[in-house]
Amino acid sequence: MRLATWNVNSVRARLDRVTSWIQRSDVDVVLLQETKCTDDQFPAMAFEAAGYEVAHVGFNQWNGVAIASRVGIADVEVGFPGQPCWGDSEQTEARALGATCSGVRVWSLYVPNGRSLEDPHLEYKLQWLAALREAGRQWLAEDPDAQILLGGDWNVAPTDDDVWDPAFFEGRTHTSPAERAAFHGVVDAGFADLVRPYAPGPGVYTYWDYTQLRFPKRQGMRIDFLLGSPALQRRVTGASIDREERKGKGASDHAPVVVDLAD
């Protein structure tokens, strides 16, 4: 079974690239982030034509997460327990979507950016990750053998090896001690990085800014992750980051991240 996560930075703008890639790469389940569309606007028919069932949540031209599966999709859940709202809103943003695909409980996650160390959005980000940690602990307390995949754009580079220049990021988001501690809190709750053993750093990234020739200069960040519960960790046979998909006209600024599981 092959699963992947990919921040596509607008699914409608990159529809042909996404549907072509999931078929060419023989992906069974793909978690998409930053779809940037409402549910009515999501191009579900294109995925269905490729053989995938789709679940999506999106309220406007921002955020948006989806799950596309060719091995079944059931028990779709919008938002995880305790997921906080942003600002004065009483509705959670379209940043988390769960479903069960061939026995694996998958979550497509788009963690808040944080914006800056002085912005209230950073506190929202930390609260969001803390709530995810507690939800993960509860899931594993209820069923220690549960196969759970937390995948997506985490907007955190958890170590200095995950950025092209640690000095460049001093005083910025994504690498602050608080954000890194929040990320590691999810790991400590029982969800290990499934990809790093197969894609060791430094110099291995999943995101490159569009500006200042960051991609050809290899100035990137590793902020997209697939984290797995203990039962899922035991099934992993390989993992990779498809850097080639960051190349060419119309590419997302993120690359797909892939993990293979034994039956």
> At 170, which CATH number?
3.60.10.10
Q: According to the model, what pLDDT value does residue 9 have? A: 98
Global pTM reads: 0.98
Q: According to the model, what pLDDT value does residue 22 have? A: 98
CB-based contact 220:207 (threshold 8 Å): yes
Name the stretches of the chain with pLDDT < 70: none
Among 260, 81, 24, 235, which residue's Cα sits nearest to residue 146?
235
CB-based contact 38:10 (threshold 8 Å): no
Q: Which stretches within 164-227 are classed as H helix? A: 177-188
Give Cβ neighbours of residue 23 (< 8 Å, ≥ 6 apart).
Answer: 50, 51
CA dihedral 195, 201, 203, 204 (to 10 degrees): -10
Q: According to the model, what pLDDT value does residue 48 have? A: 98
Q: According to the model, what pLDDT value does residue 196 have? A: 97
Among 222, 230, 223, 227, which residue's Cα sits nearest to residue 259?
227
CB-based contact 133:139 (threshold 8 Å): no
Q: According to the model, what pLDDT value does residue 29 have? A: 98
Q: According to the model, what pLDDT value does residue 40 have? A: 97
H or E element, residue 132: helix 120-142
The number of domains in the chain is 1
Q: According to the model, what pLDDT value does residue 259 have? A: 98
Q: According to the model, what pLDDT value does residue 195 have? A: 98
Q: How many CA atoms lie within 13 A of 201 on its CB side?
A: 21
Domain that holds residue 48: 2-261
